[in-house]
Amino acid sequence: MYVKRLSDGSEMSHGADERWYLASMAKVPVALAVLRQVQDGRRTLDDEVALEDGDRIDVGNIVWNDTGTRYSLRTLIERMLLESDNTAANMLIRTVTVQTLNDGTRQAMGTPNVTFTTFAQVRRDVYAEVHPKARDLDNGTLVRIASARNGPARVEAIRRAVDAKRTDLATTSMDEAYDRYYRRDLNTTTLIAYGGMLERLVRGQVLPDGPPRAVLYKAMKHDIYTGYRLQAGLPRDHAFIHKTGTQHRRACHAGVLDPDDLQKALVIVACTADLDEQKQAGPVLESVGRAIRQAALDR
């Protein structure tokens, strides 16, 4: 957990200097990479990107649409952040390039120690911990594998996709496959670094006040109360720009409470590990939000 009050720089933290897998929280840096190019005049929000087969990956609806279907950058940003559509994220990463994404993110987070990949690459890298041939699977096969329940059925789907014997698998446990992947430190950073990026965002240092930042705030649910994870424990009448991240036994939630008022703004980043990402992580993060409210707001 990492909390910072921007008015006086006071902080609360626990494990914030450790590296945490971000999952879909990585989509905020993706949006920033695109919107900085819009701010600089290199692109417009109405520019369109066509869906390619290499963009397709599970989670979201765009994956099921026809190759060549076109989407505006504005729509892709909204789908990526509001619906956490992974194919939309891949399309945006392809548009700005992985190198540009990583260069901008390192600058925004104030650290060289962050490396993001596409969301399709995440799947390949995880499945390759079961069998190395999974690195060569096409996107359509990755989508089909993801339809198998995570666990033994997913392992079997990977085995069939790479046409390997069970005795040739590096592991028959998806828990172990994910643990090995997490140890590679891809798509990870410290909570302090992620919080620093959010602070620079609301201070106008990575994206000045203007239409591009307004698009980002809206897509980060500035005016929407979700009652989910951290926000369930935070006061309902405070604006909160935020993004969640969820993957196997990992769950994160980060945002800025009162982002429009630097005298009140509170940066909050929290992650859990080795808990059920759906059933157990939500109540834990809600309790973190409640504790932050009591410690930093109810006084």
Residue-range domain boundaries for the chain: 2-116+187-297, 119-182
pLDDT at 299 over 80: no
| pLDDT, mean over the chain | 97
pLDDT at 298: 64
pLDDT at 241: 98
DSSP state of 253: E
| First-residue to last-residue Cα distance in the chain | 21
CATH 3.40.710.10 fits 2-116+187-297, yes or no: yes
- Which string of DSSP letters, residue by residue, matches 56-107? --SSSSGGGSPTT-EEEHHHHHHHHHHS--HHHHHHHHHHH-HHHHHHHHHH
pLDDT at 296: 86
Looking at residues 55-65, what average pLDDT do you find? 95
Residue pair 69/88 in contact by the 8 Å Cβ criterion: no
Provide the pairing of β-strand 250-257 with 266-273.
antiparallel
* pLDDT per position as a tens digit, 62-101: 999 999 999 999 999 999 999 999 999 999 999 999 999 9
- What residues pair up with 2 in beta bridges, in sequence order? 13, 269
Using DSSP, how many helices (H) and how many strands (E) does the chain show?
12, 9
Banded pLDDT at 254 (limits 50, 70, 90) = very high
pLDDT at 221 over 80: yes
* pLDDT per position as a tens digit, 90-148: 999 999 999 999 999 999 999 999 999 999 999 999 999 999 999 999 999 999 999 99
Looking at residues 160-183, what average pLDDT do you find? 98
Reported pTM: 0.96
Q: Which amino acid is residue 219, in one-letter code?
A: A
Percentage of residues in the chain having pLDDT higher than 70: 99
Banded pLDDT at 297 (limits 50, 70, 90) = confident
